[in-house]
């Protein structure tokens, strides 16, 4: 039997850096959503062994060896007798949590194929894996271990843009002017509509955006292009270099994506809806 699992892109709508632990891990307070766009992990039961094949338009540069997070997740599940294939659509190391989302998809898929229980500790696979297991709008705090559902989001669509330039996450964190920034308000409000949500979100930030733009000027160019394409709000996700623009509906997001592809054909551009209820739900 062959089965498949979506590994959606993880997008930080807001990301506040609120502290740093003695072991070096940074403390965050972030609003996280997941998109209908993502990688696809397929699995098929075989007689013996555990293998992973990596394919798809973004497969170049991604290891298919034992260091791959998909295989590490499968080993945590003590998987055996599975042939896995990762169809890679998200750019690698781009601020979209692709590796963590792939690992979470592997845990869900292996559990479904084998009937094994999901592990209690998934944080050991990566700080973003707990929120990626939920794959629904969440507030993520601490180093990623505190995940709580968000109030329902208004309907919206998104355009993701990556300028095909790498960003060093350690360099971005090291360049932060301060690491004890205020957290997001608690509790989060209920948003009546898209306009109200954009007004609220605009008062918050991604604390990593300024140092990332200083290190990689292409990011500022992407943000400007999203603004010019009509985004209600444009911001960087994670530590970059992928940025997102929010739109009230998919039609306007698709039009903006077409414009951006025409103006900057070398960029990776994807219009997408958001997931509301896990990997199988849409907003």
CB 107 within 8 A of CB 122: yes
User: Which among 173, 184, 189, 76 is positioned nearest to 133, based on CA atoms?
Assistant: 76
* H helix runs in the chain, sequence order: 69-76, 98-114, 129-134, 169-174, 194-201, 209-215, 218-228, 250-263
102 is annotated as an active-site residue = no
Any known ligand binding at 230?
A: no
128 is annotated as an active-site residue = yes
Annotated catalytic residue, options 29, 39, 102, 128: 128
CA distance 102 to 1: 20
Name the token pair of 244. Answer: 């997102």
Any known ligand binding at 101?
A: yes
CB 46 within 8 A of CB 84: no
CA distance 38 to 272: 10
Any known ligand binding at 265?
A: no
Any known ligand binding at 94?
A: yes
Q: What are phi and psi of 243, to 5 degrees?
A: -120, 160
Any known ligand binding at 126?
A: no
Annotated catalytic residue, options 10, 29, 39, 102: 10
CA distance 240 to 172: 9
CA distance 144 to 126: 9
Q: 139 pairs with which residues across the strands?
A: 31, 148
Any known ligand binding at 96?
A: yes
CA distance 272 to 256: 11
Write the Ramachandran bin of 138: left for phi over 0, alpha for psi from -120 to 50, otherwise beta.
beta
Name the token pair of 111. Answer: 């559990």
- The rounded radius of gyration (Å) of the Cα atoms in the chain is 18
**Catalytic machinery residues:** 10, 128
Residues of the binding site for ATP:
91-101
């Amino acid at each position: 039997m062959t089965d498949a699992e979506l590994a959606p892109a993880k997008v930080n709508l807001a990301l506040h850096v609120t502290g740093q632990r003695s072991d070096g891990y940074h403390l965050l307070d972030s609003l996280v959503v997941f998109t209908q766009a993502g990688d696809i992990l397929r699995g098929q039961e075989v007689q013996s062994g555990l293998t992973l094949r990596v394919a798809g338009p973004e497969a170049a540069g991604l290891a298919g060896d034992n260091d791959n997070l998909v295989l590490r997740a499968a080993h945590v599940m003590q998987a055996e007798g599975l042939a896995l294939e990762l169809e890679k659509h998200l750019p690698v190391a781009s601020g979209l949590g692709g590796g963590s989302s792939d690992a979470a998809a592997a845990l869900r898929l292996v559990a479904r194929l084998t009937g094994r229980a999901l592990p209690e500790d998934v944080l050991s696979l990566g700080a973003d894996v707990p929120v990626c297991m939920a794959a629904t709008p969440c507030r993520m705090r601490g180093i990623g271990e505190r995940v709580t559902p968000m109030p329902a989001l208004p309907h919206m669509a998104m355009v993701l843009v990556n300028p095909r330039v790498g960003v060093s996450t350690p360099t971005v964190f090291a360049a932060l002017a301060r690491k004890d920034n205020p957290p997001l308000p608690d509790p989060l409000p209920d948003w009546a509509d898209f306009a109200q949500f954009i007004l609220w979100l605009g008062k918050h930030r991604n604390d990593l955006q300024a140092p990332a733009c200083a290190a990689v000027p292409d990011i500022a160019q992407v943000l400007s292009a999203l603004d010019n394409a009509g985004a209600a709000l444009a911001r960087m996700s994670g530590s970059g270099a992928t940025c997102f623009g929010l739109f009230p509906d998919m039609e306007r997001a698709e039009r903006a994506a077409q414009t951006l592809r025409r103006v900057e054909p070398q960029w990776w551009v994807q219009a997408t809806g958001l997931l509301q209820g896990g990997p199988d739900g849409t907003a």
